[in-house]
Amino acid sequence: MGAARTSDTEPRPTTADRVAEAALAVPGVAGLHAGAFGEIGTYLPGRRVAGVRLAEDLTEVHVTVAMGSRIPEVAESLVAAIGPLVGTAVRVVVEDVEPGPPPGDRRP
């Protein structure tokens, strides 16, 4: 049989989607952030990937970090996770810190 296809209504993953997915998988990242005025994003046909800005020579990812996370370590992990996907320099911008339990704390 042939390769699996996404449905006709599901958009195919783009570089911006892969960057967003990789960023959200980094421990300590609570979410992507679109900036104070919602200006940070990659515009695609019919949708937008908030918090990710792609340029020819730079990729920016704007995030909210979980309180208790070590921000420099989260930033380093983001660069390591995203760099190979884009082949450009990666700029990490921490827009906010989200209160809550420290990373790894699984208390209800």
Lookup result for tokens 């370590």: 73
The reply to whether 70 falls in a domain is yes
The reply to whether 22 falls in a domain is yes
pTM for this entry: 0.82
DSSP designation for 91: E
The reply to whether 39 falls in a domain is yes
The reply to whether 8 falls in a domain is no
H runs (alpha helix) in the chain: 15-24, 71-86
Domain span holding position 25: 15-98
pLDDT beyond 80 at 50? yes
The reply to whether 106 falls in a domain is no
pLDDT tens digits for range 59-108:
999 999 999 999 999 999 999 999 999 999 999 999 999 986 555 655 45
- Tally the domains of the chain: 1
The reply to whether 2 falls in a domain is no
Number of Cβ atoms within 10 Å of the Cβ of 22? 21
CATH code of residue 36: 3.30.70.1350
Using CB atoms within 10 A of its CB, is residue 78 exposed (0-12), middle (13-18) or buried (19+)?
buried
| Mean pLDDT, rounded, for 30-50 | 94
